[in-house]
Structure 1
Amino acid sequence: MHRSFYQYLMSERNENSYDPIAEFANNAFLDQSFPKQSTDFEEISEYLEENSSYLPSMTVFDDAWQKYLLSSN
């Protein structure tokens, strides 16, 4: 069973980092509505586009998604 994107993202949390993926993870942790069980790119992307004011650019999500895919191999 693959871990969800959220589970991967939580491994990137670092409150002392200015890395965009770490900041994304820190903010997603505080987002009560984030689709925590999802492994679907489209579902998460749509959620972030419609509901996320904390993500400065979807490029950050794209970069995190690529790292997620690499971590699943």
Structure 2
Amino acid sequence: MTITEIAAQLDITRTDGELFDCLQTLVCNGHVESSERRTCTRSKTQKITWQATPYGTRFFEIFEID
């Protein structure tokens, strides 16, 4: 899965600059870089949490910041 495909699933576009850049740092050539959970901020109202598993699957959560 490419960064563009992941972003599309999450409804993130390149205009979401900081978040898109953050996602790019988490995914390298379609492979996760680390199994650590990472959180990126999307504007001041939304965050995304990313995590890989040992099996290479990923989950993403987007949630609102109070």
TM-score, length of structure 2 as denominator length: 0.33
Higher relative CO (Cα under 8 Å, sequence separation at least 6) belongs to 1
Which structure features the higher share of strand residues?
2
TM-score, length of structure 1 as denominator length: 0.31
Which structure features the higher share of helix residues?
1
